[in-house]
Structure 1
């Protein structure tokens, strides 16, 4: 059974508890991905503050050992998250890890992020594992727009591109959100704000995911890289406008920024990933994950 939402909002550092200096650990157990976003650039590295980056990939059976160690450095650790470096549902490792975490640390909040391609297929398993907060990245609900953001998907042994791929992805995201939200799990949606592509589409996304059952919405500014390296990053004003537009339909989460798949510590205060994972240099600041 999932932890109640009141507890999540009080104890999860990425849902308002950051002011109480609550901490979290990200477990980088999910190496593979099943979609190819044009803005994504996953890497193994030691210090880049970019989603999808990690200093190493660990195995599910190693995860509880890292949590025990993290508790020595972060006594107010309340949350265990898995956000990559690939997609959490593309391989079995994330859900296997959460089963082990639930058994040894039942009081820690279990938080997972996914692109949602397999969420409709695996919603029952996500619910059964007891995920407390689920974040789904939905960048568009119009297939024509999504097709500009996502180059291809890999689904049930086949590769799809263009509008066909977008239609499959959007359908699975929304149906998966409906199933998981109906179980009582807190669902947050992330949208990467890509100027000139989906910046005039935010209201539609916010309204659609709220109807599907999401209760929090987070707009992440694009990092110009990979296929979108020549796109401009959103301006602060552009981000504020998008947040205001979305806020008409859904509660907007505003204190989040880009975060690594192996972050450990209190968001915005300190990060001890170097001590926990041993081979990453210390960074001065980290932020809560999307």
Structure 2
């Protein structure tokens, strides 16, 4: 795979890259770049995780080494009880690699890292304190506003969260970070502030978010908004039948999942998407792509 082919694969189903020029230069000079995707081990993983899993598969195919940060401390900072953080981590550690493996990609260049193993080291916390002296409360709160649960009386943990995520890029020793568009403010904070404490700014790659089946966001805390990875067929059918999907309006969770997950898998497998339909209505419909 040449640079242009790698770049096209990486850009597929992404919303923004900061910056594409830096990404191209990275692909030209480094044989095996390193990227990380992080997830706080909060609620149970749902089908929305298939989207970043497919992007991770793209990076593996493009010759990247991929690190997955299971951010157990970030989960605690986002109000997950400390008593259950370890149990949540253990669950994620088992299910996330299986999710990516199920796509059919070679995972020998996939590495799972527990956040607390790295983030409690003295040198890491020293750099968190260093950056905290560079970042205002206003900027830290703004950066975390789309990710952390912010109340009228926010906790200090929500301000620490984005600073730690910025420092993660250095201590994971990566070239790029992959995340949803809800991570943009934190990624920009990292790019602006890592150089202030002597580290390089990283390339930030964002994928769009898949809306919930009901509402704008697929949330682990809202059962009706998502399909859990462990839901049985009956539960999935019930949730899909109750999903918001207005005829003629593609801006909903069902169509987004079809576009970014199902059609991507179909195209990679060189398969068509088939809608079964009675012959009296014209027979089956077949689609090669979403458009």
| TM-score, scaled relative to structure 2 | 0.33
Whose strand proportion is higher, 1 or 2? 1
Question: Looking at both structures, which has the greater relative contact order when contacts are Cα pairs under 8 Å and sequence separation is at least 6?
Answer: 1
